Amino acid sequence: MRTTEHLEAVVERVRRTPLGERIPADWAALTDLPFTAKEDLREHYPLGLLAVPREALRRIHASSGSRGKPTIAAYTQHDLDVWSEVMAECMTMAGVKPGMVVHNAYGYGLFTGGLGFHQGAERIGALTIPVSGGVTARQALLLRDLQGQVLCSTPSYALHIAEGLREAGIGPDDLALEIGMFGAEPWTDAMRTEVEAALGLMALNVYGLSEIIGPGVAAECAEARDGLHVMEDHFLVEIIDVDSRAPVRDGEDGELVITTLTKEAMPLLRYRTGDITSLTREPCACGRTSPRISAIRGRVDDMLIIRGVNLYPSQIEEALLHVEGVAPHYQLIVDRPKQLDELTILCEGRGANLASRVKEAIREQVGVTAKVLVRPMGEIPRSEGKAVRVIDRRNLK
């Protein structure tokens, strides 16, 4: 059983402690608390965890449900204001300024991406174009005709839009793009290089999840792009060992756990995000002192164990995209034809011996042997939202 009074006392204390002193002062009290997990939200679906009367709600969102039943996120007016504020802060850190043209290609609807970036852009005083996801040819035309300067989308969809631009014969000189605000799925520095080259912009990483607020939990600064600054006035972060659940040291990989400090409708204590990252409290080169998380490697449930080697799809991405001639579109198929797991990498690209060069790079840098199939250009499915990177066929038999 949860000891509600204890929880309330700790939250109160966390709230009253000056921001800079929060973590050390309340660490011990906080780590006494039980975790909250996605199962708790499922168990109380849809609105069983409300901390306010239902009449106080002003908006509902839901996770995209990429893992089963959607989880509901509820907001009071204050929660919506906080969300706009953290999104505006993330976008300001990226260099978005009043009057800039923001082309928002995140999906609008229950998914938090569309409205989250929309609110942030409006709060800054940018010109917001709510294109939403889909109809890639139209994205390309609008980007040219309305001279979007900031592109907000998943990184995989940004690449798809880049293809749409090429097909429409629209080149970098026809565009005004400066900043890309990419998130909602894991992506690597190798992918950053690809997206920046394809679109002629500076790509920045934005992280968040519906359960906590949506996008706007943490984001990179344009000055350093060295980890994502956590919006610490609103979210308290810890990193724990996935198995033992004990805190790990700064700099070590583990599961990100978040406590909301200002949420009204559905505050969460020590929520296990399932996302793997590491934390640093060193001040950033940009001068900000907020804690920073590294780019998310992947989700706990995305980890693959290929013949005993634990790996995340992002590790494959990093190695794969460094191979000369490989296009930034790929899928991983995991199968177990006999007793052993087999990994097949589907990729696209050009050049001699591409398959064997990829195979060699993966073996050397990731430490697994994979089968590599080079597909004709355009054959790997493109995504308009979160890309499907892994097709796991192991449990289908």
Q: Is position 184 an interface residue for ligand ADP (rule: CB under 6 A)?
A: yes
Interface segment toward Zn ion; rule CB under 5 A; list 27-35, 117-125, 133-141, 277-285: 277-285
Report the residue from 14, 177, 221, 368 that binds Zn ion according to the rule CB under 5 A.
Answer: 221
Smallest separation, CB 391 to ligand ADP (Å): 17
Alpha-carbon 87 to chain mean position: 14
Smallest separation, CB 45 to K ion (Å): 19
Name which of residues 195 to 224 contact ligand ADP (CB under 6 A). Answer: 205-210
Smallest separation, CB 93 to Zn ion (Å): 7
Residue 296 touches which of Zn ion, ligand ADP, K ion, none (Cβ within 5-8 Å per kind): ligand ADP
Name which of residues 17 to 56 contact Zn ion (CB under 5 A). Answer: none
Q: How far apart, in whole angstroms, are the C-alpha atoms of residue 188 and residue 294?
A: 11
Name which of residues 262 to 281 contact ligand ADP (CB under 6 A). Answer: 273, 275
Closer to K ion at the Cβ: 66 or 356? 66
Q: Which amino acid is at 170?
A: I
Closer to ligand ADP at the Cβ: 86 or 354? 86
Q: How far apart, in whole angstroms, are the C-alpha atoms of residue 79 and residue 112?
A: 13
Interface segment toward ligand ADP; rule CB under 6 A; list 11-19, 65-73, 87-95, 129-137: 65-73
Task: Identify the residue whose tokens are 């990498």.
Answer: 345
CB neighbour class for 347 (10 Å; exposed up to 12, middle 13-18, buried from 19): buried
Closer to ligand ADP at the Cβ: 141 or 190? 190
DSSP secondary-structure letter at 134?
A: -
Q: For CA atoms 327, 160, 212, 42, give the dihedral sign.
A: negative
Name which of residues 37 to 66 contact K ion (CB under 5 A). Answer: 66
Q: Which residue is nearest to K ion (CB)?
A: 66
Q: Is position 248 an interface residue for Zn ion (rule: CB under 5 A)?
A: no
Question: Minimal CA–CA distance to 85: which of 215, 202, 205?
Answer: 215
Residue 369 touches which of K ion, Zn ion, ligand ADP, none (Cβ within 5-8 Å per kind): none
Smallest separation, CB 2 to K ion (Å): 27
Q: Is position 224 an interface residue for Zn ion (rule: CB under 5 A)?
A: yes
Smallest separation, CB 308 to K ion (Å): 26
Q: How far apart, in whole angstroms, are the C-alpha atoms of residue 190 and residue 322?
A: 7
With vertex at residue 126, the alpha carbon angle to CA 124 and CA 132, rounded to the nearest 5 degrees, is 110
Closer to K ion at the Cβ: 100 or 105? 105
Phi then psi for residue 373, to 5 deg, are -120, 120
Cβ density class 377-397: b for 16+ within 10 Å, e for less: eeebeebbbbbebbeeeeeee
Q: How far apart, in whole angstroms, are the C-alpha atoms of residue 219 and residue 229?
A: 5
Q: Is position 77 an interface residue for K ion (rule: CB under 5 A)?
A: no
Report the residue from 107, 116, 120, 183 that binds ligand ADP according to the rule CB under 6 A.
Answer: 183
Report the residue from 222, 286, 309, 355 that binds Zn ion according to the rule CB under 5 A.
Answer: 286
Report the residue from 65, 172, 367, 381 that binds ligand ADP according to the rule CB under 6 A.
Answer: 65
Most distant pair of Cα atoms in the chain: their distance: 66
Q: Is 41 left (phi over 0), alpha (psi -120 to 50) or beta?
A: alpha
Question: Minimal CA–CA distance to 107: which of 93, 97, 117?
Answer: 117
Residue 3 touches which of Zn ion, ligand ADP, K ion, none (Cβ within 5-8 Å per kind): none
Name which of residues 293 to 322 contact ligand ADP (CB under 6 A). Answer: 296, 299
Interface segment toward ligand ADP; rule CB under 6 A; list 58-66, 86-94, 100-108, 324-332: 58-66
Question: Minimal CA–CA distance to 383: which of 153, 114, 192, 179?
Answer: 153
Smallest separation, CB 290 to Zn ion (Å): 8
The count of C-alpha atoms lying within 13 angstroms of the C-alpha of 351, restricted to the half-sphere facing its C-beta, is: 13
Residue 209 touches which of ligand ADP, Zn ion, K ion, none (Cβ within 5-8 Å per kind): ligand ADP
**Alpha-helical regions (H) of 47-135:** 77-94, 112-124
Residues at the contact surface with K ion, assessed by CB under 5 A = 66
Residues at the contact surface with ligand ADP, assessed by CB under 6 A = 63-67, 111, 183-186, 205-210, 273, 275, 296, 299
